Structure 1
Amino acid sequence: MSTLCEVSSTETMQRAKYGDDYKQDFDPEVYLEMYYTDLKGQTSEGDMLETSMLFWHETFAQGNITGHRLLDIGTGPTIHTVISASNCCDTIHLSEFAPQNRETLRKWLEGTLQHSFKSFFQYVVDREGKGELSSAREAMLKDKIVGIFPLDLLQAEPLLPSLFPTFDIITSSLCIEAAAPDLAGYEIIARRVGKLLKEGGHIALFGVLGESFYQVGSHTFYCLKISGEQVQDIWKRSGFKIVGWKQKSSLGHDASLSDFEGVFHMVAQKSL
């Protein structure tokens, strides 16, 4: 099974964008327009996005995952991953590989980004049911973000040149399977990410299963085709106890945009 997946991944990588290609070919404006216009988006990938938002809400609404410092890995040009988490930490560090995505995040922080995340903030405050205004929640999130940092998961020290103490919480969405060249590479990344987390700290992941590519405009980007069992096995071997796992089969989507077979949600605690 693993060998077949790795062969398939190698073949896909040869014809799809990967690694440094993101710096040249990934267009954040096109990506946001395609997938993050609102919770339904402009594509049939909307179900994935709603599932993701519900996961982030459920993960942090219970109040079991808290800490002073949170790191979001592979933020991309969108901040939906950390909206629910913003009530459960004091500071948030965003990190991203592509410079143009970091610039998009900076524009959002400064209030100059034309794209709006209002529907995402509204979703969160409606779910939490405390009568909070979406604009107040967005302002609170911005206040907690201490920076947007370069990230390269293919390097032994992914956050260099920045150096940080270990974090209490790590979040990540749709990132590691896009960065890992194969299953062995995914495990290497998992162990690198684990070193950034305190003992007893939590990682919350949202990802895709069985996907080999996704489309952004005219460009096709590589993704590691991985199963739920493989994801869980790798994180267990990397020193984590899985405390929450859900997966959901795709309910139908535009196969020209992605061939993902399902999504997963995982919460894991770093072993003491």
Structure 2
Amino acid sequence: MEQVKYGEDYKTDFQPEEYLQMYYSTLKGAPAEGDMLEASMLFWHEAFNQGHMTGRRLLDIGTGPTIHSVISASNYCDTVYLSDFAPQNRETLRKWLDGSLQHSFKSFFQFVVDKEGKGELPNDREAMLKDKVVGIFPLDLLQAEPLMPSLFPPFDIINSSLCLEAAAQDLASYENMVRRMGRLLKDGGHVVLFGVLGESFYRVGSHSFSCLKISAEQVQDIWKRSGFTIVEWKQKATDAQCDGSVSNFEGFFLMVAQKSR
């Protein structure tokens, strides 16, 4: 039986090209995901479009090799900091930034500009996002200082998608990561978190990667205990067409939380 991958395995066994092919070929995503990808894009649009989150500087934690999670956010901040644990993911992001990445995110940009309804072209929006990216940084939430050796003042907004549950081995490590995220955020700043519920694994190519099987109640309790007020929570159960072949998540959520002042 194949050993499930986690932690340092991401640096050797996680293949960005396979991940993008499996999950982000189009906005409809992989059949095994059902409607999760399109729902997540709508969640982000609605969360940022309300205009409650303001601030110049946004840090995206665990960006991976895909930038879909920061497209909506890019219209509401001046600078975007991308980050990931795996060097090959950071290299994929650099290829997107310099225009050499073969994978296209056009359908994701099209979705956002259509929802915003301002007549913006997807290529123009992508160019705007690239202009706002300050850099692509190594980040490890399992370390006491996740962004070392880089040092930054606290951020106004932290965005993260499908990262914490993939990195945590148990609820204690999940809570430690939440508290480390909190220290990277200014008082009164916001976290926008997208995650899955009840998942123990997901596949990328021939490898299975572990995931912390966590419930909505556990997520909310940990963030509240860590000094945050949950100001928005949206949750949806798994689409019936998901067959469990590449992941076994039971649902997904988007949370907006504000750090106590």
TM-score, normalised with respect to structure 2: 0.98
Number of equivalent positions: 259
- Alignment partner of 2:158 out of 164, 170, 187: 170
8 Å contact 2:237–2:251 — kept in the other structure? yes
Q: Out of 118, 143, 146, which is 1:158 matched to?
A: 146
Residue 232 of structure 1 corresponds to: 220
Candidates 111, 134, 155, aligned match of 1:123: 111
Q: How does 1:19-98 map to 2 (within 5 A)?
A: 19-98=7-86
Q: 1:209 and 1:41 mapped to 2: Cα distance?
A: 18
The answer as to 2:187 corresponding to 1:199 is yes
Within the candidate set 232, 246, 259, 1:257 is matched to 246
Structure 1 segments (4+ residues) deviating >3 Å: none
8 Å Cα contact 1:180/1:224 also seen in 2: yes
Q: Post-superposition shift, 1:232?
A: 0.2
Indicate conservation of the 8 Å contact 1:34/1:43, yes or no: no
1:157–1:192 CA contact under 8 A, matched in 2: yes
Q: CA offset at residue 127 of structure 1?
A: 0.3
Contact 2:191/2:258 (8 A) holds in 1: yes
Aligned amino acid, residue 163 of structure 1: L
Cα distance in structure 2, aligned partners of 1:197 and 1:233: 19
Gaps of 5+ in 2: none
Please give the TM-score of this superposition, normalised by the length of structure 1: 0.94
- CA offsets 1:164-200 (integer angstroms, 9 cap, x no match): 0000000000000011110011000000000000000
Unpaired stretches in structure 1, ≥5 consecutive residues: 1-13
The answer (yes or no) to whether the contact 1:191–1:238 under 8 Å persists in 2 is yes
What is the CA-CA distance between 1:15 and the residue it aligns to? 3.4
Determine the C-alpha separation between the residues in 1 that align with 2:29 and 2:193.
Answer: 21
Cα contact 1:68–1:89 (8 A) shared by 2: yes
Residue 46 to residue 79, structure 1, CA distance change in 2 (3 Å): farther
> SS state of the match for residue 44, structure 1?
helix
Q: What is the CA deviation profile of residues 100-150 of structure 1, one whole-angstrom value per residue up to 9, with x for unaligned ones?
A: 000000000000000000000000000000000000000000000000000
Structure 1 Cα separation of the partners of residues 30 and 143 of structure 2? 35
Aligned 8 A contact 2:32 2:245 in 1: no
Residue 35 of structure 2: SS of its match in structure 1?
A: helix
* Distance in 1, Cα, partners of 2:66 & 2:53: 22
Identity %: 76
Does residue 190 (structure 1) correspond to residue 178 (structure 2)? The answer is: yes
Q: What's 1:144 paired with? A: 132
Take 1:258 and 1:219, find their aligned partners in 2: how far apart are those partners? Answer: 11
Deviation, 1:28, is 0.3
Is contact 1:86-1:144 (8 Å) kept?
yes
Aligned-residue offset at 1:63: 1.0
